[in-house]
């Protein structure tokens, strides 16, 4: 198509002629846009969703017979939000996946610009995440961090397969496009030692002790933040909270611009999304997209982990409540 020159606009007889000429210049008019570029309230594109750990674990066991570490960088199952056209994110800015490393297996070292964390589900002593050469034990209930660009690998030196849930900010990196990924040239980074007290590890036993000492927010509810060693959010783009909810009590999460992935660490709870209710048990994952009120009511004493993009929203000045007119 021939690009219009300035003189071409001297002879137009109406807006249709202008639109045709603008199209040759890859320019879109700003007064009659095909789609609005701004809207009064945030859109609810992602939906609440629930994934059960039990069938995912069975699927990983089956995949383990056919998928080795040579075929896949990591043997994992991605929790894809069930909206039309989606093939990856769990919520807009975050993705969760179940991962399995077989007994005696090592997942080689790599690093990437995405931040990652692990919620450990089923392991035996001898299972480690290796972060920048240091072996960090992975025990059930632990939460481990892999900040962006840290070398990391996974080693299972036990006699039982190991399972955990990964949560990463890859969808955010995809959107902004600073994605870098690199394999370690040695396959496995050099091991310099083991550190159960690594600043990248929140041991579940210590989490429970902290919750026991924390004041009640309301009857039956205690909640703490898992902070970075220097203070503040656990990761640059992800904040982590753990709540202990007594049977019959509830954790209420008001509608905000931030999106959340929740993992049930222990117990049994009902998650009310407003439109539907999910029952979550240990190991289950729940997508809690921005823009809705949520209530997590314990059917028996429950521990729940929430990972949210709140630090990112705060850094950009976009963290705020969602008006009631958007809820539902």
CATH of the domain at 254: 2.60.120.10
Element spanning 135, H or E: strand 134-137
73: left (phi over 0), alpha (psi -120 to 50) or beta: alpha
Across the chain, which has 328 residues, the per-10-residue mean pLDDT values are 93 95 95 89 91 98 86 86 97 97 93 97 97 97 96 95 98 96 93 96 98 97 94 95 98 96 98 95 97 96 98 96 64
Nearest to 294 by CA among 324, 274, 275: 274
All residues at 6 or more sequence positions from 125 whose CB lies less than 8 Å from its CB, including other chains? 137, 139, 158
Coil, strand or helix at 207: helix
Residue 155 domain flag: yes
Written as six digits, the tokens of 3 are: 């690009």
Residue 7 domain flag: no
Strand pairing category for 134-137 and 193-194 = parallel
Residue 30 domain flag: no
What phi and psi, each to the nearest 5 degrees, are found at residue 223? -150, 135
Question: What pTM was estimated for this model as a whole?
Answer: 0.94
Residues 98, 91: Cα–Cα separation, whole Å: 15
Whether the CB-CB separation of 99 and 162 falls below 8 Å is answered with no
Residue 110 domain flag: yes
Strand pairing category for 285-288 and 49-51 = antiparallel
All residues at 6 or more sequence positions from 285 whose CB lies less than 8 Å from its CB, including other chains? 50, 51, 53, 79, 90, 96, 98, 165, 261, 262, 263
Coil, strand or helix at 79: strand
All residues at 6 or more sequence positions from 43 whose CB lies less than 8 Å from its CB, including other chains? none
Coil, strand or helix at 179: coil
Residue 218 domain flag: yes
Element spanning 173, H or E: helix 170-176
Written as six digits, the tokens of 127 are: 């299972």
Element spanning 56, H or E: helix 53-63
Strand pairing category for 95-101 and 143-146 = unpaired
Q: Supply the pLDDT for residue 327.
A: 47
**What range defines the domain where residue 93 resides?**
49-326
193: left (phi over 0), alpha (psi -120 to 50) or beta: left
Nearest to 267 by CA among 221, 241, 301: 301
Q: Supply the pLDDT for residue 328.
A: 43
Q: What is the 3-state secondary structure of 217-282?
A: CECCEEEEEEECCCCCECCCCCEEEEEEECCCCEEEECCECCCEEEEEEEEEEEEECCCCEEEEEC
Number of domains forming the structure of the chain = 1
Residue 42 domain flag: no
């Amino acid at each position: 198509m021939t690009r219009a020159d300035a003189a071409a606009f001297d002879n137009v007889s109406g807006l249709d002629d202008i639109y045709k000429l603008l199209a040759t210049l890859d320019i879109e008019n700003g007064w009659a846009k095909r789609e609005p570029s701004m809207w009064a309230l945030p859109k609810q594109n992602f939906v609440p969703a629930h994934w059960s750990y039990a069938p995912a674990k069975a699927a990983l066991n089956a995949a383990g017979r056919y998928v080795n570490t040579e075929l896949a960088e990591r043997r994992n199952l991605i929790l894809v939000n069930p909206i039309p056209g989606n093939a990856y994110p769990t919520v807009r800015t975050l993705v969760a996946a179940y991962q399995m490393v077989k007994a005696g297996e090592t997942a080689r070292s790599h690093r990437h610009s995405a931040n990652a964390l692990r919620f450990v589900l089923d392991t035996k002593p001898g299972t480690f995440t290796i972060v920048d050469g240091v072996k960090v034990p992975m025990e059930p209930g632990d939460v481990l961090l892999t900040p962006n660009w840290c070398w990391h690998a996974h080693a299972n030196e036990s006699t039982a397969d190991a399972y955990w849930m990964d949560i990463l900010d890859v969808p955010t990196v995809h959107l902004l496009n600073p994605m870098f990924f690199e394999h370690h040239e040695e396959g496995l980074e050099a091991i310099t030692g083991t550190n159960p007290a690594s600043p990248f590890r929140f041991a579940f036993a210590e989490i429970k002790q902290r919750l026991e000492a924390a004041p009640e927010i309301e009857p039956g509810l205690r909640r703490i933040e898992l902070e970075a060693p220097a203070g503040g959010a656990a990761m640059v783009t992800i904040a982590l909270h753990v709540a202990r909810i007594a049977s019959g009590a509830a954790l209420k999460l008001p509608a905000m611009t931030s999106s959340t992935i929740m993992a049930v660490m222990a117990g049994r709870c009902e998650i009310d999304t407003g439109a539907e209710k999910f029952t979550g048990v240990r190991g289950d994952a729940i997508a809690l997209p921005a823009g809705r009120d949520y209530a997590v009511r314990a059917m028996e004493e429950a521990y729940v982990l929430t990972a949210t993009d709140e630090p990112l929203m705060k850094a950009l000045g976009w963290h705020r409540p969602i008006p009631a007119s958007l809820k539902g």
